[in-house]
Structure 1
Amino acid sequence: MPQDPFQQKKDSILAEIRSSETDLSPKGTIDELCLPIMDLINSHKDMVTTSSCSGRVSVFVEGNKVHEKSLKTGGKGEGGRWLFVTHDYTALPSWMDKFRHEIEFDTEFKETLTPSKRYILYKFEPFILHVKCRDFQSASKLFNAAMSCGFRESGIGSNNIVALRINIKLDIPIGYLNEATSRLVFFVNEKYIELIDGLALGKFKENTRKMKELYQIIENQIINPEITTKSTKVIETKEERRERKRREGLLKQRMLLETQNADLMEELNETP
């Protein structure tokens, strides 16, 4: 019997997912919030997840922007560095503590700001998931399901890889690197930082809600499609129902915990 190239690739990817070794991402491990939807998709014979991020806040210092007298967008490969990265919204209130000694404030813009400055960017980047599909038909089915629940940034790339994406973003300059002193100069005050932390918290909550919606759409339309004709109805084995309920329960528990923690953070922020 000839070997199935897609199944071979899927088996290799699943072995990496189950491995305890760190991956190539900055975090080094899969985000827990991604696991339910990854498990769901990987249960389909024609699909396998290849990379994921549940959503994160990052604070990033741009890299060198001037090359041979021409101006380029600063990137992490050009001397840029992460000041802070988290996939956990509960870390937001204290994100400056680790490098507060490097910070000074210039809210009056005493120094001239130019495009060549290496800016400090505060970002919220939403959930993204890449899925390799066996063929274009299965890729189209997944793409259409994602589009139907608002994942308008999704697309199908080469080798039938579907990128599931949504436009819930923040990208705000909050300061720059003083290259003469190596100090981080913020041109916004801490009250403004609290404001965008609150905005990011709202993005986290919306992002998780959309992940749950995507999960349900994929389950209903692809994994366990609901047949509504009078002559036919879905028949689920006990094992299939038990596994579906387990996945739903896991996601609901995480959603409940996240909502409770978010409400607590909002109460603390409102306390004088």
Structure 2
Amino acid sequence: MAAFRRWKEQRLARADESRKGSVDEAIAELVQLLNGQERFCTTSSCAGRLLLAQAPARGFNGYEVQKKNCSWLMVTHQLCAKEDVMTALQKATGDTVFKFEPFILHVQCQELQDAQLLHSVAIDSGFRNSGITVGRRGKIMMAVRSTHCLEVPLSHMGKLMVTEEYVDFLVQIANRKMEENMKRIDRFYNCLQLALKTELSMRNSPREMIQKTHSVYTHRRKRKPDKEPGVCTSSENKEESETEDDPEANLNIFF
């Protein structure tokens, strides 16, 4: 426990090495809430973004622009307009891909049960691709992820390969995904607050009450349809991980 606290202090004292250099505004309170808990430490995050990425000549690998060598002609963490994309495309000289990347969050947890709590909150909030990774040396990472991505090639060697009407259609789809993404982030924040309060209440309750109360992360039922955005129910109603560990040597646990 003491070792985790020391590591967390060192981690949070580091400079932000992301391209932006700071936590996205839309998730700043969420990140602060997690890091305010002794047992959690966020290691990387992105609120979700729309971007036009360009790779150099022959940069495609199965129609995927490699992140390592690509440049961003346009990026926003908000909704965008067709004109934004068309203006960015005018600067294209290589192969471009228009992408929507949803919210992602990596959190190192002190104990496995802490990661399980976050995993349950993530699943209840709509982030169905979330999972827990346990490293060889016992490092416990919880990744919050979803699957509603979008990635479409638009130009080749600077030449637009689709119509402007199609770009407009694509932007509308991407904006709808971004709106849904923000709703899920709100649900995650609200669910996390509720889970932490519930857990604290259980710890302060008499032992008999604790035995009768189900944990917020041990039992799940099917999610009720048409749940209101931003409303969290209990579990009864139902951009990359750290490089210190070798991914191939990790054990992935999905619940």
TM-score by length of 1: 0.65
Letter in 2 for 1:150: G
Give 1:108-187 correspondences, 5 Å limit: 119-157=95-133, 158=135, 159-177=139-157, 184-187=158-161
On the 8 A contact 1:142/1:222 being kept in 2, the answer is no
**What residue number does 1:7 align with?**
5
Q: Which structure would you say has the larger Rg?
A: 1
On the 8 A contact 1:60/1:81 being kept in 2, the answer is yes
Aligned residue-pair number: 204
CA-based RMSD of the aligned residues comes to 3.2
**What residue number does 2:70 align with?**
80
**What residue number does 1:29 align with?**
22
For residue 201 of structure 1, the aligned residue among 154, 165, 175 is 175
Q: Could you tell me how far 1:156 is from its partner in structure 2?
A: 1.0
Q: What stretches of structure 1 of length at least 5 have no aligned partner?
A: 104-117, 178-183, 234-251, 253-272
**What residue number does 1:45 align with?**
38
Residues 1:61 and 2:51 are matched in the alignment? no
Give distance in 1, aligned partners of 2:42 and 2:198: 18
**What residue number does 1:190 align with?**
164
Q: Could you tell me how far 1:197 is from its partner in structure 2?
A: 1.2
Q: Could you tell me how far 1:154 is from its partner in structure 2?
A: 0.6
Higher helix share: 1
Change beyond 3 A, Cα 1:92–1:156:
farther
TM-score by length of 2: 0.69
Give distance in 2, aligned partners of 1:220 and 1:14: 25
For residue 84 of structure 2, the aligned residue among 62, 87, 94 is 94
Give a deviation string over 1:17-48, Cα, whole Å, max 9, x none: xxxx6x32222221001111111212222111
Change beyond 3 A, Cα 1:95–1:74:
closer
Change beyond 3 A, Cα 1:165–1:7:
same
Change beyond 3 A, Cα 1:9–1:224:
farther
**What residue number does 2:188 align with?**
214
Q: Secondary structure at the match of 2:129?
A: coil
Identity %: 29
Letter in 2 for 1:148: D
**What residue number does 1:266 align with?**
none
Q: Could you tell me how far 1:54 is from its partner in structure 2?
A: 0.2
Q: Could you tell me how far 1:125 is from its partner in structure 2?
A: 0.3
